[in-house]
Amino acid sequence: MNRVYRSEDIYKNLMIARFSPLDVLVVGGTGAGKSSTINAFFEKEVMKVGRHCDPETMNISSIKMDELIRFWDSPGLGDNINSDRRYSKELVELLYKEYYMQGNKYGLIDTVLVILDGSSRDLGTTYRLLNEVVVPNIQINRILVAINQADMAMKGRHWYEKHNCPDEVLMSFLEEKADSVRRRLAEATNVKVLRKPVFYSAERGYNVKNVLDMIIDNMPRERRKLICQY
């Protein structure tokens, strides 16, 4: 296996927090690219990616990067009401999964990474996911947002194939989009302190390290207390 990106920094942060690994739950609408994002982190196919019309991931599963970070892939919301209800319940259950350390009880999940499909303006599923599943059940400073499919944000236009990056037009569109997403999510969810989302393309391997940087630079310094904050 390749060396884990910034493994010393992750290790140092884990030593301060005195636990390992960091548990990151990846959530988002169906087809946003949750599984592709985890594959991009590992630089190989560790999760099955949807290649057809139907949603792909049906169950929550996890994979560890050494003993440093464990990523939890999850089914996407937005397919139909019944599956949304079932998946939401499973996600909340996972958010309340307990972890015992020296006789104390903590939440297993440390950080939630919310993935958005950058090719769409519709934030409806993400609002619901945040309002109904994530925000009520984990401390707000443990929520990170990332915008995937940066290559498709202008429907495939202005992607500079030769250098595998956005051209100037798409770049300023993406910067604007990141601000707009942050503002709209803050308004719709009352989460006023959301960090500016990172944009990237899992499929094309563009800016994937920025997503990892966001996770590493915002690693919590302690296990998550399982007290409901409301």
Ligand X SMILES: Nc1nc2c(ncn2[C@@H]2O[C@H](COP(=O)(O)OP(=O)(O)OP(=O)(O)O)[C@@H](O)[C@H]2O)c(=O)[nH]1
Nearer to Mg ion, 34 or 177 (CB): 34
User: Binding of ligand X at residue 23 (CB under 6 A)?
Assistant: no
What does 32 interact with, of ligand X, Mg ion, none (CB < 5 to 8 A by kind)?
A: ligand X
Min dist CB 149 to ligand X, Å, is: 4
8 A C-beta contact, residue 129 and residue 158: no
What does 137 interact with, of Mg ion, ligand X, none (CB < 5 to 8 A by kind)?
A: none
Count of beta carbons in the 10 Å neighbourhood of residue 152:
18
Min dist CB 200 to Mg ion, Å, is: 16
Nearer to ligand X, 114 or 219 (CB): 114
Count of beta carbons in the 10 Å neighbourhood of residue 181:
22
Residue from the set 14, 22, 24, 32 that interacts with ligand X by CB under 6 A: 32
Structure tokens at 13: 């942060």
User: Binding of ligand X at residue 33 (CB under 6 A)?
Assistant: yes
E strands along the chain, which residues?
22-28, 61-65, 69-73, 98-101, 104-107, 111-117, 143-148, 159-160, 165-166, 198-199, 224-225
Identity (one letter) of the amino acid at 144? L
Give the range of 15-23, 28-36, 95-103, 128-136 binding ligand X by CB under 6 A.
28-36
Residues 151-180 that bind ligand X (CB under 6 A): 151-152
Convert residues 77-96 into a mask of x (bound to ligand X by CB under 6 A) and - (unbound). Answer: --------------------
Structure tokens at 112: 């939630």
Give the range of 9-17, 85-93, 139-147, 199-207 binding ligand X by CB under 6 A.
199-207
User: Binding of ligand X at residue 202 (CB under 6 A)?
Assistant: yes
* Distances 79 to 61, 86, 125, 194, 200 between C-alpha atoms, Å: 19, 11, 10, 26, 24
| Integer Rg of the chain from CA | 17
Residues that bind ligand X (CB under 6 A): 28, 30-36, 49-51, 55-57, 75-76, 148-149, 151-152, 201-204
